[in-house]
A and B are shown apart, each in its own frame.
Chain A
Amino acid sequence: MRLDRRGSLLSQVHIDPPLLGGLLMLCAIGLVTLYSASGQSVDVVIKQALRMLLGMACMIGIAQISPQRLARWAPGIYLLGVFLLIVTTAIGEGRGAHRWLDLGPIRFQPSEIMKLATPLTVAWFLRDKILPPRMGQIGIALAIVVVPGALIMEQPDLGTAILVMAAGLLVLFFAGIPWRLIMLAVGATGAMAPIGWLFMHEYQRQRVRTLLDPAADPLGTGYHIIQSTIAVGSGGWSGKGWLNGTQSYLEFLPERATDFIFAVYCEEFGLLGVLVLLAAYLLVMMRGVTIAVQAQDLFGRLVAASLIFTLFIYIFVNMGMVIGQLPVVGVPLPLISFGGTSIVTLLTSMGILMSIQTHRRFIVES
């Protein structure tokens, strides 16, 4: 009896073909949509394609590292990320918000690191515990989640803070924390909402008000939502056709290449196109869930499940925002929105899934 890896040529190099296929399909949809949303700018599309290539390289690179090694590295990366967040808040620069760390030629958002490091570290902490975790262990895990969350919220970048904390909390959820605790947390959050209102920045309050009544300030904060709703609604069943979205071409739609690109997609491809897009996302999701279920140790299961459902949170928050169901939070649509770091982070997280899937060991009859 010996342990062996098995699988196709691609899994020998730690690539998971179904997951890769789904991601490539999304990238293709993204580039086609971006060409239209950017006003047919070849330059923007090339830039985005280069970032996708960089992301793919990171994905394949991280897939070569075994989950065991990732688990060992996780706390170190986490501590480094927290340190960088503190540095960024102290000296970082951004337009009114301290998000970017400028290291000469390299400029990046340390919060991107935390999107991966936080769930990995929570999973690392729980990997050898008896499940369901005891209260003290839950407390420590919560601390691991809240520290970066609070630092990012301080920047202030509410969208990213929510995503980072959600990724960490999902690990706890899949680790099987008791339902009554979850209920308690949900209830407490609901009760705290009015107090949270007091601590919000004015622009954040404005976004909530806008969600409730966009028509109140049609040229101010409600403008985004009104215009994106018109774009989505006028798309109809089959859309106005590629490159024919008047809302985006006549520049009524703000942020049309970045956070609001889904509105352009809806306008040009209609509900039919949206169903295709959702199907592509679900394909990637279901492959991720399969990887999570098939994972051989607790670390792999928790990480895979957390990362794949974080991807869903991105999709839901972005689409919900564009169609006016959620407040405007700066969350990009994965692989479709124009923007560098989030694509690289997302593809890297998919690389972790591939690593979990392809480093499994099987018993082979000798």
Chain B
Amino acid sequence: MNSGANPRRESNRDPASFRGRILFAIAGMLLLVAMLIARLAYLQLVNHDHYTTLSLENRLKVLPIPPTRGLVYSRDGVVLAENRASFALEFVPEKTPALNRALAEIQPYVSLSADQLSRLRSELKQRRRFDTITVKENLSEQEVAVFSVNRYRFPGFQIAGRLTRHYPLGAETGAVVGYVGRINEEELRRLDQGEYSGTTHIGKEGIERSYETELHGRVGYQTVEVNAQGRVLRVVESRPPVPGRNLRLGIDTRLQREAIKALDGQKGAIVAIEPATGSVLAFVTNPAFDPNPFVNGISVSLYDSLRNAPDRPLFNRALQGLYPPGSTIKPLIAAGAIELGLRDRRAATFCPSFFQLPGASHKYRCWQKAGHGSVDMIRSIAESCDVYYYALARDMGIDRMHDLLVGFGLGKPTGIDLPAELGGLVPSRAWKQRARKLPWFPGETLLNGIGQGFMLTSPVQLAHVASILANRGRVIVPHVVDLLESPQAGEQEQVHVVEAPSVPVHQEEAWNAAIEGMHEVVQGERGTARATGLDAAYQYAGKTGTAQLFQIAQDKRIDVKDITKQLRDHALFVSFAPLEQPRIALGIVVENGESGAHTAAPIARTLFDFYFALKGQDDASG
């Protein structure tokens, strides 16, 4: 007899009713087991023949046929992304009796690195014995030939043809076209399993990524009959895949190359936009990298050398490089001043080479040490007088200045059809309170008026601003892809010109003054960049800018030669040409280029000359 329990629990010590419940549960369980067995007997004994027949007939399998990825080519018809036939060595573990020996003996024909072998072994463990496993991709012609002759010695091994993405221009268009890479696990979870069932690669960067859906196409299927070993006997039915659409870019490779040449190895970015359509004509970031090694998995050493290079070639300066815009925003402020009734074009400000806020001793310097004297709006742009804009910024105030600059598309992404664009920064009271936990100081308004201080813009935004100026306030979203083309149906779809709300400057006089000032910059008698523009055969407009990297102490003069190259100012230039019916707008940044007028402005002139000559040739040849 069991004992030792608390007497208080005596009432529930009697297990009679518990035993009753247990017996009931066992009875219930046996009844359910009997039901299972009855059903199993019905399936496996009574209807065994029926299901055996079904299982023998059950030999139709649906296999995916991946679509061919769309091509990418340029405005002038140069292929920028294509699919190249390549050969890979594969094998099926089940059909390969002595794998280790075979891998050793295959070495003289197809050399395999230790890296490839170890990857192969880990894959071997994860895959099923009847799956096909790739040993080596991108075999050379010699490897294919030598292996084929000796193939009889390696049962289970075979050479398979496939298509590999290739970028003929490599680094020259890498920043725009981007690249594809193997689908990773995170993407696999996100993707439509059906659509990607036969696809191995997916766009990772550039338009390969932003136009993934269009480039990929639609998967096809074939229903095949297989025998009991799974071998395909015949194709019963098939639905062909719909190949991906070809993309035509607005980029002209000749202009693109000329822009790369003009940068002459300096770090920086150049973006050219056709103002009327928003089509991107050139998109250069320097230094750049070759996207081809990324397609089939870049080696660790190459990737590390790219990532750790001091010039940061993986960094897309055109899209993600953020620079203070410097004086390039002066025409914008000037146009806003007329619209807001703060200045007319003739109102003069006296520049004694510095500006002071009432009651403060700090002197805000003009770049012109001698002072500009009496300056009106046109001169203020042409000669980039800082004092004029200190005074104007004070009158406008940060709130109105913020709204004006945001109206020009600054401080937010332009909406270009490339992934991971950065929006830069247009500071405001609210931003400073949020980000810095500090109130706005009046002196910061003055600095913002000449594009210094907190403000940041990308080269794409600078080109966008140039294009908006050329369009006199119409904001057209820039786009890299001009045309989508379905290779089968042969139909073409022009990318729509997307217009954003226009700049809140509506007076013609405001645009006239801003553009006339910019014209004076390059082709006026005292313009900051007159040296580059005076002898041009066409009229154009531009504005230089210099983004200060560090502040020189008050009243101190420093010889430029004493400053190391990395600390020199960035040279900026926004420009469009010709003055009437502009055809090209440019945003240029040359890192550590010191002066917009000397380094960046000549690049614009070179590219304009080249582009117009090119157009002349193209028109002549019809």
Contact = CB atoms under 8 A, between A and B. Distances in A.
Interface SS, A side: helix
B40 A232 contact: yes
A296 B2 contact: yes
A173 B9 contact: no
B254 interface: no
Nearest to A249: B230
A34 to B, nearest CB: 13
B125 A309 contact: no
Interface stretch (A9-17, A58-66, A83-91, A312-320): A312-320
A20 interface: no
Nearest to B60: A252
Contacts of B19: 293
Interface string A95-125: 1000000000000000000000000000000
Given A130-B11, A232-B44, A237-B48, A176 B126 contact: no
Contact of B128 (A38, A173, A320, A323): A38
B128 A271 contact: no
A298 B3 CA distance: 13
A320 B36 contact: yes
A346 interface: no
A92 B290 CA distance: 40
Nearest to B54: A230
Contacts of A42: 125
B539 to A, nearest CB: 60
A28 to B, nearest CB: 22
Contacts of A234: 48, 51-52, 54-55
Given A234-B54, A235-B44, A237-B48, A40 B129 contact: yes
Contacts of A298: 9, 12
Interface in B51-65: 51-52, 54-55, 58-59, 61
A128 B51 contact: no
Given A235-B44, A236-B48, A271-B41, A325 B126 contact: no
Contacts of B189: 95
Nearest to B51: A233
B495 interface: no
Contacts of A40: 128-129
A297 B29 CA distance: 24
A247 B2 contact: no
Contact of A129 (B12, B36, B47): B12
Contacts of B490: none
Interface string B1-43: 0111100110110010111011001100100110111011101
Nearest to A40: B129
B4 A316 contact: no
B7 to A, nearest CB: 12
Contacts of A316: 32-33, 36
Most chain A CB neighbours (cut-off 10 Å) among B43, B52, B189: B43
A92 to B, nearest CB: 16
B130 interface: yes
A315 to B, nearest CB: 9
B44 A319 contact: no
A174 interface: yes
Contacts of B25: 173-174, 305, 309
A231 interface: yes
Interface residues of A, number: 58
Nearest to A173: B21
B55 A247 contact: yes
Contacts of A309: 25, 29
A356 to B, nearest CB: 14
A131 B15 CA distance: 10
B228 interface: yes
B35 A293 contact: no
B22 A250 contact: no
B40 A323 contact: yes
B45 interface: yes
A298 B189 CA distance: 48
B43 A250 contact: no
B45 A237 contact: yes
Given A174-B21, A316-B32, A251 B61 contact: yes
A75 interface: no
B226 interface: yes
Nearest to A133: B12
Contacts of B4: 3, 296, 361, 363
B44 A271 contact: yes
Contact of A174 (B18, B40, B126): B18
B44 A39 contact: no
B48 A233 contact: yes
Contact of B35 (A236, A249, A292, A325): A325
Nearest to A296: B2
B58 A247 contact: yes
B615 interface: no
B22 A323 contact: no
B556 interface: no
B50 interface: yes
A287 to B, nearest CB: 13
Nearest to B128: A39
A98 to B, nearest CB: 15
Interface in B109-164: 125-131
B523 to A, nearest CB: 61
B37 A266 contact: no
A237 B47 CA distance: 11
Given A250-B61, A319-B36, A325-B39, A236 B22 contact: no
A293 B22 contact: yes
A132 interface: yes
Interface string B176-199: 000000000000010000000000
Interface of A: 3, 38-43, 95, 128-132, 173-174, 176, 227, 229-237, 246-247, 249-252, 266, 270-271, 274-275, 278, 282, 285, 289, 292-293, 296-298, 301, 305, 309, 312, 316, 319-320, 323-325, 361, 363
5 contacts: A40-B128, A174-B18, A230-B58, A232-B43, A237-B44
The 6 closest A-B pairs by CB, nearest first: A233-B51, A39-B128, A234-B55, A43-B125, A233-B43, A236-B48
Given A132-B17, A230-B54, A232-B51, 16 more contacts: A39-B129, A173-B21, A232-B43, A234-B48, A236-B52, A246-B228, A249-B130, A250-B58, A250-B59, A250-B230, A251-B61, A274-B44, A275-B37, A282-B33, A285-B29, A320-B36
